[in-house]
Structure 1
């Protein structure tokens, strides 16, 4: 059963029982993504790492630590 079919079945059951309809699939995806990002940043701060720009900082460290060839 697909997500859409399950949603339609749940909506039908809710209507038959006089209950509010469930939220549509994907209605809260952005909110979940935002909360996940906030939680990741919180864990980084608690661990003593910078909350923003961690990937860029790691890449810049990688690039600057390369041994330079003697010219």
Structure 2
């Protein structure tokens, strides 16, 4: 069963029971990724390591690199 089929089944079941319909798959993906990055930075600071911004740091270094 695909994720779309599972969502449709869950939505049908929720409607028939009078419960709120669950969000569609992929609705909160961006927020989850952002929260995970924030958590990794927070844990780095707690353990005494510098909090880095990953892709943003790499792109900044490439821009500042002498030609």
Establish whether TM, by shorter chain, passes 0.5.
yes
CA deviation after TM superposition for structure 1 residue 19, in Å:
1.1
- Other-structure match for 1:34: 34
Task: Pick the structure with greater CA Rg.
Answer: 1
- Other-structure match for 1:45: 45
Q: Which runs of 5+ in 2 are unaligned?
A: 59-67
Query: Equivalent residue of 1:34, what SS?
Result: helix
Cα RMSD of the aligned pairs, angstroms, is 1.6
1:14 aligns with 2:45: no
TM-score (norm 2): 0.74
Moved over 3 A (4+): 53-56
Query: Equivalent residue of 1:15, what SS?
Result: helix
1:3 aligns with 2:3: yes
* Alpha-carbon distance in structure 1 between the residues aligned to 2:3 and 2:53: 36
